[in-house]
Structure 1
Protein backbone atom coordinates (compact mmCIF):
# COMPACT_ATOMS: atom_id res chain seq x y z
CA UNK A 1 0.00 0.00 0.00
CA UNK A 2 1.35 3.42 -0.99
CA UNK A 3 1.69 5.64 2.14
CA UNK A 4 0.32 9.16 1.84
CA UNK A 5 2.50 12.13 2.79
CA UNK A 6 0.43 14.93 4.31
CA UNK A 7 3.42 17.28 4.15
CA UNK A 8 4.00 16.81 0.42
CA UNK A 9 3.19 19.51 -2.12
CA UNK A 10 1.01 17.10 -4.09
CA UNK A 11 -2.62 17.33 -2.90
CA UNK A 12 -3.84 14.43 -0.77
CA UNK A 13 -6.63 13.53 -3.18
CA UNK A 14 -4.06 13.05 -5.98
CA UNK A 15 -1.91 10.89 -3.73
CA UNK A 16 -4.99 8.90 -2.78
CA UNK A 17 -5.89 8.51 -6.45
CA UNK A 18 -2.48 6.95 -7.17
CA UNK A 19 -2.86 4.68 -4.14
CA UNK A 20 -6.34 3.53 -5.12
CA UNK A 21 -5.26 2.85 -8.69
CA UNK A 22 -2.50 0.61 -7.34
CA UNK A 23 -4.96 -1.07 -4.96
CA UNK A 24 -7.35 -1.78 -7.85
CA UNK A 25 -4.54 -3.10 -10.06
CA UNK A 26 -3.23 -5.47 -7.40
CA UNK A 27 -6.43 -6.62 -5.70
CA UNK A 28 -9.54 -6.15 -7.83
CA UNK A 29 -11.01 -7.33 -11.10
CA UNK A 30 -13.59 -5.79 -13.40
CA UNK A 31 -16.94 -5.69 -11.59
CA UNK A 32 -15.43 -5.93 -8.08
CA UNK A 33 -16.54 -3.42 -5.45
CA UNK A 34 -14.17 -0.90 -3.90
CA UNK A 35 -14.04 -0.69 -0.11
CA UNK A 36 -16.71 1.65 1.25
CA UNK A 37 -15.75 5.28 1.88
CA UNK A 38 -15.34 4.85 5.65
CA UNK A 39 -12.93 1.93 5.09
CA UNK A 40 -10.86 3.97 2.61
CA UNK A 41 -10.70 6.76 5.21
CA UNK A 42 -9.22 4.35 7.76
CA UNK A 43 -6.91 2.64 5.24
CA UNK A 44 -5.21 5.88 4.20
CA UNK A 45 -5.90 8.23 7.09
CA UNK A 46 -7.75 10.86 5.05
CA UNK A 47 -11.02 12.72 5.35
CA UNK A 48 -14.35 11.72 3.80
CA UNK A 49 -14.17 14.82 1.58
CA UNK A 50 -10.81 13.68 0.18
CA UNK A 51 -12.14 10.19 -0.45
CA UNK A 52 -15.19 11.49 -2.30
CA UNK A 53 -13.17 13.92 -4.42
CA UNK A 54 -10.80 11.10 -5.41
CA UNK A 55 -13.57 8.67 -6.27
CA UNK A 56 -15.33 11.35 -8.33
CA UNK A 57 -12.13 11.73 -10.38
CA UNK A 58 -11.93 7.98 -10.92
CA UNK A 59 -15.56 7.95 -12.00
CA UNK A 60 -14.93 10.78 -14.49
CA UNK A 61 -11.98 8.88 -15.93
CA UNK A 62 -14.03 5.70 -16.33
CA UNK A 63 -11.95 3.65 -13.87
CA UNK A 64 -14.89 3.02 -11.52
CA UNK A 65 -18.65 3.56 -11.54
CA UNK A 66 -21.09 4.35 -8.76
CA UNK A 67 -24.27 2.33 -8.42
CA UNK A 68 -26.92 3.93 -6.26
CA UNK A 69 -27.39 2.05 -3.01
CA UNK A 70 -24.85 -0.60 -3.96
CA UNK A 71 -21.42 1.01 -3.92
CA UNK A 72 -18.51 1.79 -6.26
CA UNK A 73 -17.35 -0.82 -8.75
CA UNK A 74 -14.34 -1.32 -10.99
CA UNK A 75 -15.09 -0.56 -14.62
CA UNK A 76 -13.37 -2.15 -17.62
CA UNK A 77 -9.64 -2.41 -17.07
CA UNK A 78 -7.38 -0.71 -19.58
CA UNK A 79 -6.62 -2.59 -22.77
CA UNK A 80 -2.87 -3.09 -22.92
CA UNK A 81 -1.12 -3.26 -26.26
CA UNK A 82 2.34 -4.79 -26.24
CA UNK A 83 4.69 -2.74 -28.37
CA UNK A 84 7.37 -4.46 -30.43
CA UNK A 85 5.33 -6.59 -32.83
CA UNK A 86 3.20 -5.55 -35.78
CA UNK A 87 -0.29 -6.74 -34.91
CA UNK A 88 -3.68 -5.53 -36.01
CA UNK A 89 -6.08 -3.94 -33.55
CA UNK A 90 -8.45 -6.85 -34.19
CA UNK A 91 -5.77 -9.41 -33.29
CA UNK A 92 -4.95 -7.55 -30.06
CA UNK A 93 -8.58 -7.51 -28.98
CA UNK A 94 -9.15 -11.17 -29.87
CA UNK A 95 -6.14 -12.18 -27.79
CA UNK A 96 -7.70 -10.39 -24.83
CA UNK A 97 -11.05 -12.08 -25.31
CA UNK A 98 -12.85 -8.89 -26.29
CA UNK A 99 -16.02 -8.78 -28.39
CA UNK A 100 -15.05 -6.51 -31.27
CA UNK A 101 -17.17 -4.33 -33.53
CA UNK A 102 -16.60 -1.67 -36.17
CA UNK A 103 -18.84 1.38 -36.56
CA UNK A 104 -19.10 4.24 -39.07
CA UNK A 105 -16.87 2.68 -41.70
CA UNK A 106 -15.88 5.19 -44.39
CA UNK A 107 -13.74 4.18 -47.35
CA UNK A 108 -12.65 6.17 -50.41
CA UNK A 109 -9.67 6.98 -52.60
CA UNK A 110 -8.08 10.39 -52.08
CA UNK A 111 -5.39 12.69 -53.36
CA UNK A 112 -2.61 12.49 -50.75
CA UNK A 113 -1.65 15.42 -48.57
CA UNK A 114 1.93 16.62 -48.45
CA UNK A 115 2.41 14.72 -45.20
CA UNK A 116 1.20 11.44 -46.76
CA UNK A 117 3.30 12.01 -49.86
CA UNK A 118 6.42 12.49 -47.75
CA UNK A 119 5.76 9.70 -45.24
CA UNK A 120 4.87 7.10 -47.89
CA UNK A 121 7.32 8.41 -50.51
CA UNK A 122 4.57 8.53 -53.12
CA UNK A 123 5.17 9.04 -56.82
CA UNK A 124 3.65 12.01 -58.60
CA UNK A 125 -0.06 11.39 -59.23
CA UNK A 126 -0.18 8.35 -56.94
CA UNK A 127 -3.34 8.01 -54.83
CA UNK A 128 -4.11 6.40 -51.50
CA UNK A 129 -7.12 4.68 -50.00
CA UNK A 130 -8.47 6.23 -46.80
CA UNK A 131 -10.26 3.84 -44.43
CA UNK A 132 -11.81 5.36 -41.29
CA UNK A 133 -13.38 3.25 -38.55
CA UNK A 134 -14.59 3.54 -34.98
CA UNK A 135 -13.25 0.46 -33.17
CA UNK A 136 -15.29 -0.95 -30.31
CA UNK A 137 -14.50 -3.55 -27.66
CA UNK A 138 -17.21 -5.12 -25.52
CA UNK A 139 -19.71 -2.55 -26.77
CA UNK A 140 -17.59 0.50 -25.96
CA UNK A 141 -15.87 2.76 -28.49
CA UNK A 142 -12.15 2.61 -27.73
CA UNK A 143 -10.41 4.12 -30.75
CA UNK A 144 -10.78 6.15 -33.91
CA UNK A 145 -8.64 4.53 -36.60
CA UNK A 146 -7.75 5.98 -40.00
CA UNK A 147 -5.63 3.85 -42.35
CA UNK A 148 -4.04 5.37 -45.45
CA UNK A 149 -2.51 2.84 -47.83
CA UNK A 150 -1.24 2.90 -51.40
CA UNK A 151 -3.93 2.17 -53.98
CA UNK A 152 -1.63 0.65 -56.57
CA UNK A 153 -0.80 -2.29 -54.28
CA UNK A 154 -4.45 -3.25 -53.71
CA UNK A 155 -6.30 -3.22 -57.07
CA UNK A 156 -10.05 -3.65 -56.70
CA UNK A 157 -10.03 -3.00 -52.96
CA UNK A 158 -12.75 -0.34 -53.10
CA UNK A 159 -15.01 -2.57 -55.15
CA UNK A 160 -14.53 -5.58 -52.84
CA UNK A 161 -14.84 -3.56 -49.67
CA UNK A 162 -13.60 -4.62 -46.26
CA UNK A 163 -15.20 -8.03 -45.68
CA UNK A 164 -13.40 -8.77 -42.40
CA UNK A 165 -12.82 -6.95 -39.13
CA UNK A 166 -9.05 -7.04 -39.67
CA UNK A 167 -7.62 -5.00 -42.55
CA UNK A 168 -4.28 -6.77 -42.18
CA UNK A 169 -5.94 -10.17 -42.68
CA UNK A 170 -7.48 -8.94 -45.93
CA UNK A 171 -4.14 -7.53 -47.12
CA UNK A 172 -2.37 -10.80 -46.37
CA UNK A 173 -4.98 -13.21 -47.71
CA UNK A 174 -6.23 -11.28 -50.76
CA UNK A 175 -3.10 -9.40 -51.82
CA UNK A 176 -0.18 -11.29 -50.30
CA UNK A 177 0.99 -8.14 -48.50
CA UNK A 178 3.15 -8.78 -45.45
CA UNK A 179 4.18 -5.83 -43.32
CA UNK A 180 7.72 -6.47 -42.11
CA UNK A 181 8.42 -3.44 -39.93
CA UNK A 182 6.80 -0.26 -38.67
CA UNK A 183 7.64 2.95 -36.87
CA UNK A 184 5.25 4.40 -34.30
CA UNK A 185 4.99 7.80 -32.68
CA UNK A 186 2.87 8.08 -29.53
CA UNK A 187 1.63 11.45 -28.29
CA UNK A 188 -0.61 12.37 -25.36
CA UNK A 189 -2.93 15.26 -26.14
CA UNK A 190 -6.42 16.62 -25.56
CA UNK A 191 -9.26 15.33 -27.74
CA UNK A 192 -10.74 17.77 -30.23
CA UNK A 193 -14.53 18.21 -30.38
CA UNK A 194 -15.09 15.61 -33.12
CA UNK A 195 -12.84 13.02 -31.45
CA UNK A 196 -14.59 13.59 -28.12
CA UNK A 197 -17.99 13.12 -29.77
CA UNK A 198 -16.98 9.93 -31.58
CA UNK A 199 -15.24 8.43 -28.54
CA UNK A 200 -18.02 9.44 -26.17
CA UNK A 201 -15.77 11.44 -23.81
CA UNK A 202 -15.74 15.06 -22.66
CA UNK A 203 -13.94 17.56 -24.96
CA UNK A 204 -11.13 18.10 -22.44
CA UNK A 205 -10.32 14.41 -22.10
CA UNK A 206 -6.82 13.12 -22.70
CA UNK A 207 -6.22 10.70 -25.57
CA UNK A 208 -3.27 8.70 -26.85
CA UNK A 209 -2.62 9.62 -30.47
CA UNK A 210 -0.59 7.04 -32.37
CA UNK A 211 0.91 7.45 -35.82
CA UNK A 212 2.30 4.33 -37.47
CA UNK A 213 4.12 3.99 -40.79
CA UNK A 214 4.36 0.35 -41.96
CA UNK A 215 6.81 -1.03 -44.51
CA UNK A 216 6.97 -3.96 -46.90
CA UNK A 217 9.83 -6.47 -46.85
CA UNK A 218 11.84 -4.44 -49.37
CA UNK A 219 11.60 -1.29 -47.26
CA UNK A 220 8.80 0.32 -49.30
CA UNK A 221 6.47 2.40 -47.08
CA UNK A 222 2.96 1.05 -47.64
CA UNK A 223 0.64 2.43 -44.97
CA UNK A 224 0.20 5.29 -42.53
CA UNK A 225 -2.20 4.84 -39.62
CA UNK A 226 -3.57 7.61 -37.40
CA UNK A 227 -5.27 6.32 -34.27
CA UNK A 228 -6.87 8.25 -31.40
CA UNK A 229 -7.29 6.03 -28.33
CA UNK A 230 -9.18 6.70 -25.11
CA UNK A 231 -6.43 7.04 -22.51
CA UNK A 232 -8.74 5.71 -19.78
CA UNK A 233 -9.18 2.47 -21.71
CA UNK A 234 -5.88 1.98 -23.52
CA UNK A 235 -2.22 1.79 -22.59
CA UNK A 236 1.01 0.74 -24.28
CA UNK A 237 3.58 -1.57 -22.72
CA UNK A 238 7.12 -1.50 -24.08
CA UNK A 239 9.91 -3.95 -23.25
CA UNK A 240 13.42 -2.45 -23.16
CA UNK A 241 16.61 -4.47 -23.48
CA UNK A 242 19.71 -4.04 -21.32
CA UNK A 243 22.48 -1.54 -21.99
CA UNK A 244 24.97 -4.30 -22.85
CA UNK A 245 22.82 -5.38 -25.78
CA UNK A 246 22.40 -1.76 -26.81
CA UNK A 247 26.18 -1.23 -26.75
CA UNK A 248 26.77 -4.39 -28.77
CA UNK A 249 24.17 -3.34 -31.31
CA UNK A 250 25.61 0.17 -31.57
CA UNK A 251 29.18 -1.04 -31.93
CA UNK A 252 28.21 -3.56 -34.57
CA UNK A 253 26.15 -1.16 -36.68
CA UNK A 254 28.89 1.24 -37.75
Structure 2
Protein backbone atom coordinates (compact mmCIF):
# COMPACT_ATOMS: atom_id res chain seq x y z
CA UNK A 1 0.00 0.00 0.00
CA UNK A 2 3.04 2.27 -0.35
CA UNK A 3 2.56 5.43 -2.39
CA UNK A 4 4.48 6.22 -5.58
CA UNK A 5 6.91 9.05 -4.83
CA UNK A 6 7.80 9.32 -8.53
CA UNK A 7 4.33 10.56 -9.47
CA UNK A 8 3.81 14.28 -10.01
CA UNK A 9 0.76 14.12 -7.73
CA UNK A 10 1.67 15.31 -4.20
CA UNK A 11 1.91 12.52 -1.61
CA UNK A 12 -0.84 13.96 0.55
CA UNK A 13 -3.25 13.83 -2.42
CA UNK A 14 -2.23 10.25 -3.15
CA UNK A 15 -2.76 9.43 0.51
CA UNK A 16 -6.14 11.16 0.48
CA UNK A 17 -7.31 9.02 -2.47
CA UNK A 18 -5.97 5.89 -0.79
CA UNK A 19 -7.69 6.67 2.51
CA UNK A 20 -10.97 7.45 0.74
CA UNK A 21 -10.80 4.06 -0.95
CA UNK A 22 -9.90 2.39 2.36
CA UNK A 23 -12.87 4.04 4.10
CA UNK A 24 -15.26 3.10 1.27
CA UNK A 25 -14.20 -0.56 1.26
CA UNK A 26 -13.53 -1.25 4.93
CA UNK A 27 -15.31 1.21 7.22
CA UNK A 28 -18.82 2.40 7.93
CA UNK A 29 -20.24 5.49 9.58
CA UNK A 30 -18.82 5.93 13.10
CA UNK A 31 -15.86 3.56 12.62
CA UNK A 32 -12.42 4.77 13.69
CA UNK A 33 -9.56 5.31 11.25
CA UNK A 34 -6.17 3.79 12.10
CA UNK A 35 -4.11 6.09 14.31
CA UNK A 36 -1.61 8.45 12.64
CA UNK A 37 1.43 6.28 13.37
CA UNK A 38 -0.27 3.25 11.77
CA UNK A 39 -1.20 5.24 8.64
CA UNK A 40 2.38 6.54 8.51
CA UNK A 41 3.79 2.99 8.48
CA UNK A 42 1.08 1.53 6.26
CA UNK A 43 1.62 4.01 3.42
CA UNK A 44 5.27 4.92 3.96
CA UNK A 45 4.73 8.65 4.45
CA UNK A 46 5.72 11.23 7.05
CA UNK A 47 3.60 12.25 10.02
CA UNK A 48 3.26 15.74 8.48
CA UNK A 49 1.75 14.24 5.31
CA UNK A 50 -0.68 12.15 7.37
CA UNK A 51 -1.83 15.15 9.37
CA UNK A 52 -2.27 17.34 6.27
CA UNK A 53 -4.37 14.61 4.64
CA UNK A 54 -6.53 14.06 7.73
CA UNK A 55 -7.07 17.82 7.95
CA UNK A 56 -8.37 17.87 4.35
CA UNK A 57 -10.72 14.95 5.05
CA UNK A 58 -12.03 16.77 8.13
CA UNK A 59 -12.60 19.98 6.13
CA UNK A 60 -14.53 18.02 3.49
CA UNK A 61 -16.71 16.34 6.11
CA UNK A 62 -15.46 12.81 5.39
CA UNK A 63 -14.12 12.26 8.90
CA UNK A 64 -14.31 14.00 12.25
CA UNK A 65 -11.64 14.28 14.94
CA UNK A 66 -12.46 13.94 18.63
CA UNK A 67 -9.82 15.11 21.08
CA UNK A 68 -8.39 12.19 23.00
CA UNK A 69 -10.45 9.58 21.10
CA UNK A 70 -9.29 9.60 17.50
CA UNK A 71 -10.59 10.14 13.97
CA UNK A 72 -13.94 8.69 12.90
CA UNK A 73 -15.88 8.25 9.67
CA UNK A 74 -18.42 11.05 9.49
CA UNK A 75 -22.11 10.55 8.79
CA UNK A 76 -23.04 10.41 5.13
CA UNK A 77 -24.20 13.61 3.45
CA UNK A 78 -27.92 14.15 3.02
CA UNK A 79 -28.74 14.18 -0.68
CA UNK A 80 -31.93 15.89 -1.81
CA UNK A 81 -33.37 14.98 -5.18
CA UNK A 82 -34.03 18.19 -7.07
CA UNK A 83 -37.20 18.46 -9.14
CA UNK A 84 -39.68 17.31 -6.49
CA UNK A 85 -41.69 19.41 -4.04
CA UNK A 86 -41.26 17.58 -0.76
CA UNK A 87 -41.03 18.80 2.79
CA UNK A 88 -37.73 18.66 4.67
CA UNK A 89 -39.30 16.16 7.08
CA UNK A 90 -40.39 13.87 4.24
CA UNK A 91 -36.89 13.95 2.74
CA UNK A 92 -35.36 12.88 6.05
CA UNK A 93 -37.94 10.14 6.67
CA UNK A 94 -37.15 8.59 3.27
CA UNK A 95 -33.48 8.52 4.25
CA UNK A 96 -34.23 6.91 7.62
CA UNK A 97 -33.22 10.00 9.60
CA UNK A 98 -34.78 11.03 12.91
CA UNK A 99 -35.88 14.66 12.61
CA UNK A 100 -36.03 17.29 15.30
CA UNK A 101 -36.94 20.98 15.34
CA UNK A 102 -35.23 23.55 17.57
CA UNK A 103 -35.50 27.30 18.10
CA UNK A 104 -38.91 27.55 16.40
CA UNK A 105 -40.34 31.07 16.07
CA UNK A 106 -43.65 32.11 14.46
CA UNK A 107 -44.59 35.69 13.58
CA UNK A 108 -47.11 37.48 11.43
CA UNK A 109 -45.20 40.24 9.69
CA UNK A 110 -45.36 43.00 7.12
CA UNK A 111 -43.42 41.47 4.21
CA UNK A 112 -40.24 42.98 2.83
CA UNK A 113 -40.33 44.36 -0.71
CA UNK A 114 -38.57 41.20 -1.91
CA UNK A 115 -41.15 38.86 -0.35
CA UNK A 116 -44.07 41.02 -1.49
CA UNK A 117 -42.76 40.95 -5.05
CA UNK A 118 -42.05 37.19 -5.07
CA UNK A 119 -45.52 36.37 -3.69
CA UNK A 120 -47.30 39.10 -5.67
CA UNK A 121 -48.97 40.36 -2.50
CA UNK A 122 -51.65 43.02 -2.40
CA UNK A 123 -50.88 46.22 -0.53
CA UNK A 124 -51.21 45.64 3.23
CA UNK A 125 -51.31 41.84 2.90
CA UNK A 126 -49.35 40.07 5.64
CA UNK A 127 -47.40 36.84 5.74
CA UNK A 128 -46.62 34.30 8.43
CA UNK A 129 -42.92 33.81 9.08
CA UNK A 130 -41.98 30.39 10.45
CA UNK A 131 -38.29 30.00 11.37
CA UNK A 132 -36.82 26.66 12.49
CA UNK A 133 -33.48 24.98 13.05
CA UNK A 134 -33.84 21.50 11.54
CA UNK A 135 -31.78 18.61 12.88
CA UNK A 136 -31.23 15.09 11.53
CA UNK A 137 -30.17 12.37 13.97
CA UNK A 138 -29.41 15.05 16.54
CA UNK A 139 -27.16 17.12 14.25
CA UNK A 140 -28.15 20.64 13.07
CA UNK A 141 -28.39 20.59 9.28
CA UNK A 142 -30.54 23.46 8.05
CA UNK A 143 -31.98 26.82 9.03
CA UNK A 144 -35.39 26.98 7.40
CA UNK A 145 -37.54 30.11 7.10
CA UNK A 146 -41.00 29.82 5.50
CA UNK A 147 -42.98 32.91 4.51
CA UNK A 148 -46.56 32.09 3.50
CA UNK A 149 -49.74 34.06 2.97
CA UNK A 150 -51.77 34.61 6.14
CA UNK A 151 -55.14 34.89 4.42
CA UNK A 152 -54.92 31.28 3.19
CA UNK A 153 -54.19 29.88 6.67
CA UNK A 154 -56.65 31.36 9.20
CA UNK A 155 -55.95 30.28 12.78
CA UNK A 156 -52.36 29.22 12.12
CA UNK A 157 -50.92 31.84 14.47
CA UNK A 158 -53.23 30.70 17.28
CA UNK A 159 -52.69 26.96 16.74
CA UNK A 160 -49.01 27.03 15.86
CA UNK A 161 -47.27 24.20 14.04
CA UNK A 162 -48.77 21.06 15.57
CA UNK A 163 -46.75 18.60 13.47
CA UNK A 164 -43.14 18.21 12.43
CA UNK A 165 -43.99 18.86 8.77
CA UNK A 166 -45.48 22.21 7.71
CA UNK A 167 -46.63 20.78 4.38
CA UNK A 168 -48.62 18.04 6.14
CA UNK A 169 -50.45 20.71 8.15
CA UNK A 170 -51.13 22.79 5.04
CA UNK A 171 -52.52 19.79 3.16
CA UNK A 172 -54.53 18.18 5.97
CA UNK A 173 -55.83 21.28 7.80
CA UNK A 174 -56.13 23.82 4.98
CA UNK A 175 -56.41 21.73 1.81
CA UNK A 176 -53.40 23.53 0.35
CA UNK A 177 -51.44 21.48 -2.20
CA UNK A 178 -48.40 23.04 -3.83
CA UNK A 179 -48.39 22.31 -7.56
CA UNK A 180 -45.01 23.65 -8.63
CA UNK A 181 -42.04 25.63 -7.36
CA UNK A 182 -38.96 27.48 -8.53
CA UNK A 183 -35.65 27.23 -6.65
CA UNK A 184 -32.47 29.26 -6.76
CA UNK A 185 -29.36 27.71 -5.22
CA UNK A 186 -26.12 29.52 -4.49
CA UNK A 187 -23.04 28.99 -2.36
CA UNK A 188 -22.03 31.65 0.13
CA UNK A 189 -20.29 32.06 3.46
CA UNK A 190 -22.31 31.70 6.65
CA UNK A 191 -23.12 34.64 8.87
CA UNK A 192 -21.93 34.53 12.48
CA UNK A 193 -25.47 33.70 13.66
CA UNK A 194 -25.92 30.92 11.07
CA UNK A 195 -22.56 29.42 12.04
CA UNK A 196 -23.55 29.48 15.72
CA UNK A 197 -26.92 27.81 15.09
CA UNK A 198 -25.53 25.18 12.70
CA UNK A 199 -22.51 24.39 14.89
CA UNK A 200 -19.97 25.19 12.17
CA UNK A 201 -16.91 27.44 12.00
CA UNK A 202 -17.51 31.13 11.20
CA UNK A 203 -17.41 31.90 7.47
CA UNK A 204 -18.02 28.26 6.55
CA UNK A 205 -19.50 27.53 3.13
CA UNK A 206 -23.25 26.94 3.08
CA UNK A 207 -25.84 26.25 0.39
CA UNK A 208 -28.41 29.04 0.36
CA UNK A 209 -31.69 28.08 -1.31
CA UNK A 210 -34.63 30.32 -2.16
CA UNK A 211 -37.86 28.62 -3.24
CA UNK A 212 -41.18 30.09 -4.35
CA UNK A 213 -44.05 27.58 -4.39
CA UNK A 214 -47.33 27.93 -6.28
CA UNK A 215 -50.92 26.73 -5.89
CA UNK A 216 -52.57 24.76 -8.74
CA UNK A 217 -54.06 27.98 -10.19
CA UNK A 218 -50.61 29.58 -10.39
CA UNK A 219 -50.96 31.77 -7.30
CA UNK A 220 -47.64 32.14 -5.45
CA UNK A 221 -48.29 30.94 -1.90
CA UNK A 222 -44.97 30.52 -0.14
CA UNK A 223 -41.37 31.69 -0.20
CA UNK A 224 -38.75 29.60 1.59
CA UNK A 225 -35.19 30.49 2.49
CA UNK A 226 -32.86 27.69 3.58
CA UNK A 227 -29.29 27.86 4.84
CA UNK A 228 -27.92 24.32 4.59
CA UNK A 229 -24.58 23.01 5.78
CA UNK A 230 -22.56 22.29 2.66
CA UNK A 231 -20.65 19.52 4.44
CA UNK A 232 -23.91 17.67 5.14
CA UNK A 233 -26.23 18.59 2.30
CA UNK A 234 -26.08 17.83 -1.42
CA UNK A 235 -28.45 18.33 -4.34
CA UNK A 236 -28.93 15.55 -6.87
CA UNK A 237 -30.17 16.74 -10.29
CA UNK A 238 -31.08 14.71 -13.38
CA UNK A 239 -30.28 16.44 -16.66
CA UNK A 240 -31.78 15.85 -20.10
CA UNK A 241 -29.29 15.07 -22.89
CA UNK A 242 -28.97 17.40 -25.89
CA UNK A 243 -30.43 14.87 -28.35
CA UNK A 244 -33.45 14.21 -26.13
CA UNK A 245 -33.97 17.94 -25.66
CA UNK A 246 -33.92 18.47 -29.45
CA UNK A 247 -36.57 15.75 -29.78
CA UNK A 248 -38.78 17.48 -27.19
CA UNK A 249 -38.38 20.82 -28.98
CA UNK A 250 -39.21 19.30 -32.37
CA UNK A 251 -42.31 17.59 -31.00
CA UNK A 252 -43.43 20.85 -29.43
CA UNK A 253 -43.29 22.59 -32.82
CA UNK A 254 -45.63 20.13 -34.55
Q: TM-score range by the shorter chain?
A: 0.7 to 0.9
**1:7 maps to 2:8:** yes
Give the Cα–Cα distance (whole angstroms) in 1 for the partners of residues 35 and 127 of structure 2. Answer: 54
Give the Cα–Cα distance (whole angstroms) in 2 for the partners of residues 3 and 253 of structure 1. Answer: 55
Change (3 A) 1:182 1:70: same
Question: Mind listing any 5+ residue stretches in structure 2 that lack a counterpart?
Answer: none
Q: What are the equivalent positions in structure 2 for 1:2-151 lying under 5 Å apart?
A: 6-7=7-8, 12-13=11-12, 16-17=15-16, 20-21=19-20, 23-25=22-24, 27-37=26-36, 40-41=39-40, 46-67=45-66, 71-151=70-150
Give the Cα–Cα distance (whole angstroms) in 2 for the partners of residues 210 and 58 of structure 1. Answer: 26
Change (3 A) 1:219 1:26: farther
TM-score (norm 1): 0.88
Question: Mind listing any 5+ residue stretches in structure 1 that lack a counterpart?
Answer: none
Q: What are the equivalent positions in structure 2 for 1:234-249 lying under 5 Å apart?
A: 234-249=233-248
TM-score (norm 2): 0.88
Aligned residues between the structures: 252
Give the Cα–Cα distance (whole angstroms) in 2 for the partners of residues 204 and 148 of structure 1. Answer: 26
Change (3 A) 1:67 1:198: closer
**1:161 maps to 2:160:** yes
Change (3 A) 1:89 1:26: farther
Structure 1 position 5, deviation (Å)? 8.3
Asked whether the equivalents of residues 180 and 215 of structure 1 are also in contact (C-alpha less than 8 Å), the reply is yes
